[in-house]
Amino acid sequence: MSADHATPERPVWDDKHVRLGVEAAGVALWSWDVDTDQLTMDHLGYRLWSVPEGEGVTFEDLSAHIHPADRDRVRAGFSATRGIVGPYEIDFRIMVGDDVRWISARGRGDDEGIVNRVMFGIFLDVTGRKQAEEANELLAGEMSHRVKNLISIAGALTTMTSRSTETKEDMVRDLTHRLTALGRAHDLVRPVPGHTEDGALLGDLLSVLLTPYDDLGAFSGRVRVAVPRMGIGENAATNLALVLHELATNSVKYGALSVPTGLLDVACVVEDDEAVIVWTERGGPPVVAPRSEAGFGSKLLGRIVANQFGGSITYDWPTEGAITTLRLKTSKLAA
């Protein structure tokens, strides 16, 4: 065979190469004397557990760093390794200052590979993997919860709309608008990768929900929002979206938004433990206070405000426009 086609020599793996590979993988080596309970680790192991390097360490010493919720389970797991045939693995949390790390301890049980009553294994820092798993589980649970809520709300909206409309065309239109309002609110509070804050801002929610109605008049800027910077949680956003959409729908049908030149102002102030939202309409048809008992929509608003926000809703009927005042508990808005 010519030199050009000679088989390349395989690399020889010595201790140095193995050590470099182990360190590159973040693998910490340990040995455990089953008689003296003495643990010996390499420098990666000492750094992982944040204990002084070179000092004698026992399993009990390391146990002080294990998360209290995992400590008994880990002790029982290590004791059981003597009765396990073949490889074993146990994951647990350790405390390093205020930080929590996830460690995976791996070795072989049933005295397999034991040398002079000493067992060998490795520690791996699996914090990143565990955090990703927890985030996925949280997201899956959160999405399941939201889907169930939205299905329930959609059913309630369908019933409400069927009672408050006379034709199927009206029902399709009103139900579509209500579901669209819910969709806008849901978009504002959906989980976003890389963001840990829950919910949205009240001002953003109001602006997104009311922007479509600003296009129904002869000029832009007829819907004005002025609120302080405050957060609003997912459940609160969903329910408040229903309230605001119902008020906007009534305004489009009978109030300021029913005419091209009508104006709508939505303002909010915080008084003690309440957020006071004032919905003021001007420039619409002359207002006459209703004489009959509140309709289904008004009753629904009252129930939502009372049950979901621990608050109240009141109406004033000056001739120049309707004024609706919502008093909502700030603690409920954050939920």
Q: Is residue 98 located within the same domain as residue 25? A: yes
Q: Is residue 90 located within the same domain as residue 189? A: no
CA distances for 203 relative to 41, 56, 175, 244, 283, angstroms:
56, 60, 25, 13, 24
Q: Is residue 121 located within the same domain as residue 149? A: no
Name the residue among 261, 303, 301, 298 with its Cα closest to residue 283: 261
Look at residue 1 and tell me if it is in a domain: no
User: Mean pLDDT for the chain?
Assistant: 78
Per-residue pLDDT at 2:
52
Evaluate whether 249 touches 174 at the Cβ level (below 8 Å).
Answer: yes
Evaluate whether 109 touches 83 at the Cβ level (below 8 Å).
Answer: yes
Mean pLDDT value of segment 193-219:
67
Distance CA 29, CA 45 (A): 6
Per-residue pLDDT at 285:
87
pLDDT: which is higher, 136 or 277: 277
- Asked whether the predicted pLDDT for residue 288 surpasses 80, the reply is no
**End of a domain among 99, 125, 151?**
125
Q: Is residue 88 located within the same domain as residue 221? A: no
**End of a domain among 125, 157, 180?**
125
Where do we find the tokens 């190469």? 17
Per-residue pLDDT at 195:
42
Q: Is residue 295 located within the same domain as residue 179? A: yes
Look at residue 259 and tell me if it is in a domain: yes
Mean pLDDT value of segment 251-280:
89
Q: Is 101 helix (H, G, I), strand (E, B) or coil?
A: strand
Residue type, 196: T
235: domain range? Answer: 131-333
- Asked whether the predicted pLDDT for residue 12 surpasses 50, the reply is yes
Kindly report the CATH number assigned to the domain that includes residue 72: 3.30.450.20
Q: Is residue 121 located within the same domain as residue 267? A: no
Look at residue 96 and tell me if it is in a domain: yes
CA distances for 141 relative to 146, 178, 245, angstroms:
9, 26, 28
Per-residue pLDDT at 22:
66
Q: Is residue 105 located within the same domain as residue 16? A: yes
Q: Is residue 307 located within the same domain as residue 161? A: yes
Residue type, 60: E
Write out pLDDT tens, residues 79-137.
776 666 667 788 999 988 878 899 888 877 656 556 667 777 888 888 888 888 887 88
Least confident of 156-160, 232-236, 328-332: 156-160
Per-residue pLDDT at 29:
84
Look at residue 2 and tell me if it is in a domain: no
Q: Is residue 146 located within the same domain as residue 121? A: no
- Asked whether the predicted pLDDT for residue 305 surpasses 80, the reply is yes
Q: Is residue 146 located within the same domain as residue 291? A: yes
Distance CA 282, CA 31 (A): 80
Least confident of 73-77, 144-148, 320-324: 144-148
pLDDT: which is higher, 253 or 127: 127
- Domain total of the chain: 2
**End of a domain among 125, 142, 173?**
125
Q: Is residue 231 located within the same domain as residue 267? A: yes
CA 331 to chain centroid: 18
Look at residue 6 and tell me if it is in a domain: no
Distance CA 247, CA 279 (A): 9
Q: Is residue 160 located within the same domain as residue 86? A: no
